[in-house]
């Protein structure tokens, strides 16, 4: 039986001031190619994916359209100018997709693997909504306004959330439109869906699915890419990439 194709919103409209570079972080070079291109290529390769909506800053639409052609990114169905907030950019991308199922992914997570994307998709198909996550390694402390520790959550119940996050398109679209109408801004798409009362499950993520945010992330990403190239699996992730929830 044929599997329905998925649509993907790739969000890359942010400036990323923590990187400390004049160029936005998603356009910095990683192994000779822009970080964003690496991200797009993961989804381009996957038979699961039918269409991609790329949301970028208004000044970057033209160059991203050129890259789509230069790098053979034929699944990029639209390159759109994003809004002032990430949530607005996601909604913009969602409205251009036609697939029954959709994912939202950060443009600066270029090391996500096809296995992780598929795992997230499978979990969403079974439940309606799913996100990638990994167990938190460090002890987490909750502090008050004076930086005094007020609580230590049980680490075994904590997860660090990643992307992609996967949903039935109608569910995610209605949740975003409701949030827009009510002036609600969430920290991720799962939060927007959670507030509608819909449960969101976590799927097994990978610690190597890093978000390139600060200067030290770039050489680590270079190292991970080099490690994958020399692995026996021909560039796919090692078993150590994966973590059990």
pLDDT digits (tens, 9 = 90+) for 87-114: 999 999 999 999 999 999 999 999 999 9
Per-residue pLDDT for 10 more than 50? yes
| DSSP-assigned beta bridge partners for residue 76 | 52
Count Cβ atoms below 10 Å from residue 90 Cβ, excluding itself: 26
Per-residue pLDDT for 21 more than 80? no
Q: How far is CA 22 from CA 27, 28, 56, in A?
A: 10, 10, 16
31-40, 148-157, 207-216, 222-231 — which is least confidently predicted?
A: 222-231
- Residue 229 has a pLDDT of 85
Per-residue pLDDT for 175 more than 80? yes
| Pairing of β 49-56 and β 76-81 | parallel
Cis-peptide into 200, omega within 30 deg: no
pLDDT classification of 236: cutoffs 50, 70, 90: very low
DSSP type of residue 28: S
Phi and psi, residue 53, nearest 5°: -105, 115
- Residue 120 has a pLDDT of 98
pLDDT classification of 240: cutoffs 50, 70, 90: very low
Contact 36, 111 (CB under 8 A): no
Report the chain's mean pLDDT, rounded to a whole number.
91
| DSSP-assigned beta bridge partners for residue 202 | 131
Per-residue pLDDT for 239 more than 60? no
CA torsion sign for 213, 19, 145, 84 is negative
pLDDT classification of 3: cutoffs 50, 70, 90: low
pLDDT classification of 14: cutoffs 50, 70, 90: confident
């Amino acid at each position: 039986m044929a599997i329905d194709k998925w649509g993907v919103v790739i969000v890359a409209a942010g400036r990323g001031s923590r990187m400390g570079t004049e160029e936005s972080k998603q356009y910095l070079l990683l192994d000779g190619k822009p970080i964003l291109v690496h991200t797009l290529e993961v989804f381009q390769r996957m038979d699961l994916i039918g269409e991609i909506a790329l949301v970028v800053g208004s000044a970057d639409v033209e160059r991203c359209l050129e890259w789509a052609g230069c790098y053979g990114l034929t699944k990029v169905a639209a390159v759109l100018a994003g809004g002032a907030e990430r949530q607005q950019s996601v909604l913009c991308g969602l409205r251009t997709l036609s697939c029954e199922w959709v994912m939202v992914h950060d443009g600066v997570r270029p090391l996500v693997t096809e296995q992780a994307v598929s795992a997230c998709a499978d979990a969403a198909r079974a439940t309606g909504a799913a996100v990638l996550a990994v167990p938190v390694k460090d002890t987490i402390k909750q502090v008050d306004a004076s930086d005094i520790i007020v609580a230590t959550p049980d680490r075994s119940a904590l997860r660090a959330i990643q992307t992609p996050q996967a949903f039935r398109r109608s569910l995610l679209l209605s949740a975003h439109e409701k949030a827009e109408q009510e002036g609600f801004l969430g920290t991720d798409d799962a939060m927007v869906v959670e507030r509608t009362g819909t449960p969101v499950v976590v799927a097994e993520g990978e610690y190597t699915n890093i978000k390139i945010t600060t200067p030290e992330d770039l050489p680590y990403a270079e190292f991970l890419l080099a490690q994958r190239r020399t692995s026996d699996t021909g560039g796919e992730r090692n078993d150590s990439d994966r973590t059990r929830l």
